[in-house]
Amino acid sequence: MVRLDRESWEQIFAHAREDYPAECCGIVTEHDNGRYRVHRCDNIQDRLHQRDPEAHPRTSRTAYRMDDMQVHRILRETEEAAGRVVAFYHSHIDCDAYFSEEDRNAAMFLGEPAYPGVVYLVVSVVDGEVRGQKGFGWDEGAGEWKVWCENERRVERWL
């Protein structure tokens, strides 16, 4: 079971509020058995949209794309410190927290979860204020993504 501490949730919520009306995104890592670190990532969706609006029709208001170099650095530093990734997070703007089809597809690689055992947190931000959050995880038995927690500050893993 992963229990994010209050400080980590507050950092995620602050990030979501600060980036509004753009979606925020980031990674949560665990170090030293229960010490969590929230890593903010740049949402490069607007840059992609500006460069090629046909290939990337959505803006940061309705989509996110983490900077690959930031993700690589965070994963490398976490591994070097004997830590582990426990969650990816992003916000949804002026709507509920849900795991969209695009979110599901991005979390998969060759029909399997890209990061087994990792939770995907989605934060709802309406009019600049956090209105709720949900955690989603892969249910191995059912072979699908399911809600693990809703508007709670704990995230349970099905491992």
The pLDDT confidence band at residue 3, using thresholds 50, 70 and 90, is confident
User: Are 39 and 74 contacting, i.e. CB atoms less than 8 angstroms apart?
Assistant: yes
Question: Any idea what the Cα angle at residue 4 is, between residues 46 and 25, rounded to 5°?
Answer: 5
Instruction: Report pLDDT for 153.
Output: 53
Segment (H or E) for 129: strand 129-139
User: Are 43 and 25 contacting, i.e. CB atoms less than 8 angstroms apart?
Assistant: yes
Instruction: Report pLDDT for 158.
Output: 34
Strand 84-93, strand 119-126: pairing: parallel
3-state secondary structure of 150: strand
First-residue to last-residue Cα distance in the chain: 9
Give CA–CA dist 58/63, Å, rounded: 6
Q: What is the 3-state secondary structure (H, E, C) of 48-106?
A: HHHHCCCCCCCCCCCCCCECHHHHHHHHHHHHHCCCEEEEEEEEEECCCCCCCHHHHHH
User: Are 121 and 11 contacting, i.e. CB atoms less than 8 angstroms apart?
Assistant: no
Instruction: Report pLDDT for 32.
Output: 84
Looking at per-residue pLDDT, the higher value among 79 and 153 belongs to 79
The pLDDT confidence band at residue 132, using thresholds 50, 70 and 90, is very high
Instruction: Report pLDDT for 156.
Output: 45
- Res. 115: pLDDT tops 60: yes
pTM, full prediction? 0.92
Question: Any idea what the Cα angle at residue 9 is, between residues 79 and 27, rounded to 5°?
Answer: 30
The pLDDT confidence band at residue 104, using thresholds 50, 70 and 90, is very high
Chain-wide mean pLDDT for the chain? 91
